[in-house]
Structure 1
Amino acid sequence: MQLNSFAKTNRQVRNPEMTKKQILDAAEEEFARYGLSGTRIEEIAKGAGVTTGMIYYYFINKEELYKNVLQTPIAELHEELEQLNLDCLQAEEALKSIVQVYIAYAASHNKRGMILFQELVQNQGKYLEQMNWQNTFVYIINVLKRGIAEGSFRQLNPILTTIQIFSICVFYFTFHENLKRLTPNLQLLSPEIIEQYTQEVIKLFLLAFADHANFSQHQQI
């Protein structure tokens, strides 16, 4: 028994990246359900198939593990948005691309929205603030400012509008468990429905942000 336990632990040490991913995936599940205060390290260990000692080997404590879970989507979104080369796109196209990335990411990681919700309820955003999560908003803010300057978008508050964009993209997935009870015959997380939702959101934003005065003048010319 002890020999098998040693062999298992030894394999985990030889594959640190795989083990860390297993721990982070299991931690994400638990933090989404119970938040930082309600999550137990023992349950994370059980979900990851490791010992609690192995978790403390990679992460100092539960708080450090929680911070790593919060940091993951921020880093991944930053990387995806950086690859869009938004400065090379017209403002409308850039906005479309951002919305597509946000919704696709939220759809692929729909439990992460619940972690943000738990962070708000339990910690009033204290840990999220340490992660510089606002940096992912900079991409949207810059596109909106550019669109206003170019006359593609009407005069609007870029920061408040960015919050609206983020909220609409994420709300759908964060509250899916509630929403699906309102529409039991509609598979809200199916690829087809998510694509429809994405296109409807894009249309909504482009119509709401358009500078209709400039558009009308352009049409008359």
Structure 2
Amino acid sequence: MKKGKQGTTEKQILNAAENIFQTKGMNGARMQEIADKAGINKAMLHYYYRSKQLLFEAVFKNAFSLLAPQLNTILNDDSSIEEKVRNFTHNYISFISKHPYLPNFVIQELNRNPDFIEKIQESSAFPTLDKFNAQVEKEVKAGVLKPIEGKQLFVHIISLNIFPFVAKPLIKGFLKLSNIDFNKLMEQRKTEVSEFIINSIKK
């Protein structure tokens, strides 16, 4: 198979799989449905990916490879912690709004297979926190921030950004939201989460 056509076919498969996984989840997705969506036969799909699990991991890694460099750049640039909080929140919510299946997939996969995190960490762009932690400590000592550890701050940021997507059905039920209303709420949270965190840590 020619390299150019092979790359095009694989891209079609990943796009189709992402669409199916996003609408039906890991358990509800069927390989035949993904093949149909990609415009290929099931045998061709299995030529590229022997199982649904391998395909799901490929879809995740493809999406994560787009997000990870952005987050890594934000965490390790020369901006202030306040700017990092704003940029991280904005980028993360924008990205997950386009790939809403990812948080639940990661949690489910880590519960099923704790070693999966090692596969994620193989990426050279996997976010590193050394500079972020050192910067938080420096800004605390300078009196810019209230006393807080970098790792605690990072957990706050991740938690406030991830939870609404993980608990989407619950939040929609409690607040009586349509999908459109939920998306509007997430757009508002780009500012709400940033301000909430910044106001809690700034002196």
Structure 2-normalised TM-score? 0.77
The corresponding residue for 1:67 is: 57
In the superposition, relative to structure 1, how do residues 173 and 204 fare at CA in structure 2: closer, same or farther (>3 Å)? Answer: same
In the alignment, does 2:178 pair up with 1:188? no
Task: Give per-residue Cα distances to partners, 1:177-218, cap 9 Å, x unaligned.
Answer: 32112222571203xx333211110011112222x3xxxxxx
Instruction: Give secondary structure in 2 for the equivalent of 1:188.
Output: helix
Aligned-partner Cα distance in 2 for 1:83–1:200: 22
Of residues 54, 57, 61, the one that matches 2:44 is 54
**In angstroms, what is the RMSD of aligned CA positions?**
3.1
- The 1:115/1:26 distance shift into structure 2, 3 A limit, reads farther
- Report the equivalent of 2:120: 131
User: Partner residue of 2:100?
Assistant: 110
Q: Structure 2 unaligned runs (5+)?
A: none
Distance 1:92 1:133 in 2: 29
**C-alpha distance in 2, partners of 1:95/1:129?**
26
Gapped regions of structure 1 (runs ≥ 5): 1-9, 213-221
* 1:34-54 Cα deviation digits (max 9, x unpaired): 43x665422322332321222
Contact 2:93 / 2:187 at 8 angstroms: preserved in 1? no
Specify the alignment match of 1:202 in structure 2: 194
8 Å CA contact 1:59–1:65 kept in 2: the answer is yes
The residue that corresponds to 2:14 in the other structure is 24
Q: Distance in 2 between matches of 1:161 and 1:136?
A: 18
Q: Residues 160-191 of structure 1, C-alpha deviation per residue, up to 9 Å, x if partnerless?
A: 4323311211221232232112222571203x
Paired residue total: 196
Distance 1:90 1:57 in 2: 48
Based on CA coordinates, which of the two structures has the bigger radius of gyration? Answer: 1
Q: C-alpha separation between the residues in 2 aligned to 1:146 and 1:84?
A: 13
Tell me whether 1:142 sits opposite 2:136 in the alignment.
no
- CA positional deviation for 1:29: 4.3
Q: 2:16, 2:38 within 8 Å by CA — same for their partners in 1? A: yes
Written as runs of structure 1 = structure 2, the 5 A alignment for 1:79-118 is 79-82=69-72, 84=74, 86-118=76-108
* Larger mean Cα displacement after TM superposition, 99-108 or 40-49: 40-49
Deviation, 1:112, is 1.9
